[in-house]
Amino acid sequence: MIGIYLSGTGNTKHCVEKLLYLLDDTAKCVPLEHPQIIHMLEKQDTIILGYPTQFSNAPFMVRDFIKRNAFLWKGKKVFCVNTMGLFSGDGTGCTARILKKYGAEILGGIQIKMPDSVCDNKTLKKDIIENRQIVKNADKRLEQIAEQIRQGKYPQEGLSFIAHIKGLFGQRLWFYRKTVGYTDKLKISDSCTGCGLCCKECPMRNIEMKDNRAVSGERCTMCYRCISLCPQKAITLIGDHVWEQCRYEKYV
Ligand SMILES: Cc1cc2nc3c(=O)[nH]c(=O)nc-3n(C[C@H](O)[C@H](O)[C@H](O)COP(=O)(O)O)c2cc1C
Ligand code: SF4
Ligand code: SF4
């Protein structure tokens, strides 16, 4: 068994690691951007795949990864873990349907509420106490889910036809243009001091350093990692001001 994930602010990383180690404490858990990921996946039969919901869809990087490596999935057993701030409809179904097309067997899926990673939109902000409680609840759920799976009962959250309709009409259709590909809309303000952290941490290698300033390219997958890490709060995407940087570690 192996765990793989895309995680911007650490929520999905935590959920996949926790579930995986409860099921098999010898298993490896690696990010999608790991240089050896294809080689590692080829050797495994069972995969836990995690990613955050974005507008009731899977991030483009995740869908792109699945499609570019279509040869990988035949005969693999995949369990989908989707984290969300509030609502994802068929967040797990968004990858499960593609994986099935390439021959994977979908064991099941879960959609776990975690702190909202969008930190440049004030209306989505929750206080630290509420976010800590959200993480505690998620941990409790993951323990219950691991017990269920040990008994051979895989949850099927987000995989039904009704969930598909909810995801599609609840959000995905209206925000279709935001998730159809990578974005070039990342903004980096003049307060950038050129520390290089965003460039080093971006899973898409979308940020370059030029003349001691960070410059964004056209391949951002909207994960919010750089936005949540920048010491100057110089990076924004949906909004224009960083209210409070979100990182999983702040809530434990
Ligand atoms: C661009 C973007 C869009 C998002 N859209 C949704 C959404 O539609 N529904 C939701 O519940 N959460 C949404 N979220 C919140 C994340 O899915 C959630 O915080 C997730 O746990 C982040 O995981 P990560 O830390 O592993 O990246 C969105 C986050 C981002 C960055
Ligand atoms: S992390 Fe912030 S300050 Fe550092 S290079 Fe990136 S944008 Fe500039
Ligand atoms: S540029 Fe920032 S938000 Fe976009 S993919 Fe890279 S780290 Fe994520």
- Written as tens digits, the pLDDT of the chain (252 aa) is 999 999 999 999 999 999 999 999 999 999 999 999 999 999 999 999 999 999 999 999 999 999 999 999 999 999 999 999 999 999 999 999 999 999 999 999 999 999 999 999 988 778 899 999 999 999 999 999 999 999 999 999 999 999 999 988 888 888 888 888 999 999 999 999 999 999 999 999 999 999 999 999 999 999 999 999 999 999 999 999 999 999 999 999
Residue range 182-237 forms a domain whose CATH class is alpha beta
Minimal-distance CA residue to ligand 2 atom 6: 198
Domain parsing of the chain, residue ranges: 2-178, 182-237
Tell me if 226 CB under 6 Å of ligand 3: yes
* Distance in angstroms between the alpha carbons of the first and the last residue of the chain: 27
CA–CA separation, 220 vs 181, rounded Å? 9
Phi, psi for 249 (deg, rounded to 5): -60, -25
Residue whose pair of structure tokens reads 């790991």 in the numeric block: 34
Q: Right CATH number for 2-178 from 3.30.2350.10, 3.90.950.10, 3.40.50.360, 3.10.580.10?
A: 3.40.50.360
Say how many Å lie between the CA of residue 128 and the centre of ligand 2: 25
Q: Are 234 and 191 in contact (CB under 8 A)?
A: yes
pTM reported for the whole predicted model: 0.96
- Ligand 2: residues with CB < 6 A are 188, 192-198, 214, 230-232, 234-235
The DSSP code sequence of 171-233 is IITTTHHHHSS-B---EE-TT-----HHHHH-TT--EEEETTEEEE-S-B----HHHHH-TT-
Q: Are 191 and 233 in contact (CB under 8 A)?
A: yes
Helix (H) or strand (E) holding 235: strand 235-236
